[in-house]
Amino acid sequence: MHYWDMPDHARALSERALELIRECKSAPTPPHYELWFNYASGLNQELIEALNDAVQQGHASDPAFMRDLHMRFFGGNLTTAIDDMGEKLQQELHKFVQVLEDAGQDTASYGKTLNVAAQQLSSGDVNQFKAVVQSLVAATRAIETKHKAIETELKSSSNEIKSLRQRLESIREESRVDALTGLVNRRGFDEQIASAVREADADRSDLCLLIGDVDFFKRFNDTWGHATGDQVLRLVAQCFKANTKGRDMAARYGGEEFVVALPQTTYTNALTVAEQIRVAVESKKIIKRSTGETLGSITLSLGVAKYVVGETIEATLERADACLYAAKRSGRNRVVGEDALAATEGKLHSRA
């Protein structure tokens, strides 16, 4: 929708957004405004439900909760932030270069002054001696003052560039992390798995992947609301974190799906890790924070596959995904590895 073509409608949505911010006692920040403006537009049903849940649970005035919610729906704005920081860095570098060029011009000018003075002194005219010395002293003091100013400018510019680079790296890191769970997101996973594949290809070491998906998550989400659904995803993420270590990489791959890369891990050990995660999730109880009500347990289905040297990582992920869905079809809350996939599929066909 092009709001610039509908100024009256945009104005009405803006007024409604500000009204909602006041009602919920949220800080009138740009991210909060973006959330409530889109809520008022009525175009994103998932966002509407999430904000309704936030109001109902009393989280709409919680800055941390609302920040997570903003990242969930508008996390792509990190790209804009990276572009802005990159532009500022370019500007500062240009300023740095300009200071150096100016310093070079000042030095050249000082050199000319010295040449003129040398010529005047070589003439042997004693009457000019005092004037030449005074001119040299004045020029020397001027260049010293100028260089001190330049040194200060260069130091300031250098510090600013360092700060911008650190902030830019921080933003880039944020863009690789899922705001809701704190795990690596899909972008971060795709970047890091490429390095793991290169290592496995180079030294023929083991590399396994497992994919896990929360069972009946949509039903749970629809019944108890998105706020509780987000609580479930955080809990599941904690189970993945607690049961992976060292060079293992757990990521939220999308929605309620999680993936783990296990470098230098045998297939048998990967199955063990998957089972530990499954048991950990099953053992947790979901408590509704607003009422203290126990909502029961959740379960996880997982698939495990081993990377084959020379294949694409997409091929390994496809096999792990096929194992995951075999686990779903055979009853959920279980781990299926690729060695058992054929047997599992055979049993299902025999029942049909």
Q: 221: how many CB neighbours lie within 10 A of its CB?
A: 22
Looking at residue 194, its amino acid is A
Residue 114 in this model has a pLDDT that exceeds 80: no
Per-residue pLDDT at 186 = 87
Model confidence at 348: pLDDT above 50: no
Q: pLDDT for 286-310, tens place per residue? A: 887 777 788 888 999 999 999 999 9
> What pLDDT band is residue 81 in, cutting at 50, 70 and 90?
low
| pLDDT tops 60 at residue 180 | yes
Confidence band, pLDDT 50/70/90 cuts, at residue 172: low
| Measured CA angle at 157 (ends 151, 158), to 5 deg | 85
- Per-residue pLDDT at 161: 62
pLDDT band with cut points at 50, 70 and 90 for residue 343: low
pLDDT for the residue numbered 352: 43
pLDDT-above-90 percentage for the chain: 33
If you search the block for the tokens 């599929």, which residue do you land on?
345
For the record, the structure tokens of 199 come out as 């290592």
Choice among 19, 34, 256, 311 that is catalytic: 256
Q: What is the mean pLDDT of the chain?
A: 79
Task: Quote the CA–CA distance of 75 and 179 in Å, as a whole number.
Answer: 8
- Whether 275 is a known active-site residue: answer no
pLDDT in tens, 227-258: 788 889 999 999 999 999 999 999 998 889 99
**What pLDDT, in 10s, does the model give residues 122-165?**
655 555 555 656 665 676 667 667 666 666 766 666 676 666 66
Q: Which residue has the higher pLDDT, 57 or 146?
A: 57
Extract the tokens encoding 140.
Answer: 């020397």
Across 100-114, 212-226, 314-328, the highest mean pLDDT is recorded for 314-328
As a whole number of angstroms, the distance between CA 271 and CA 243 comes to 12
Of the candidates 188, 334, 339, which has an alpha carbon nearest to the alpha carbon of residue 267?
339
Q: Residue range 307-321: average pLDDT?
A: 94
The pLDDT of residue 42: 81
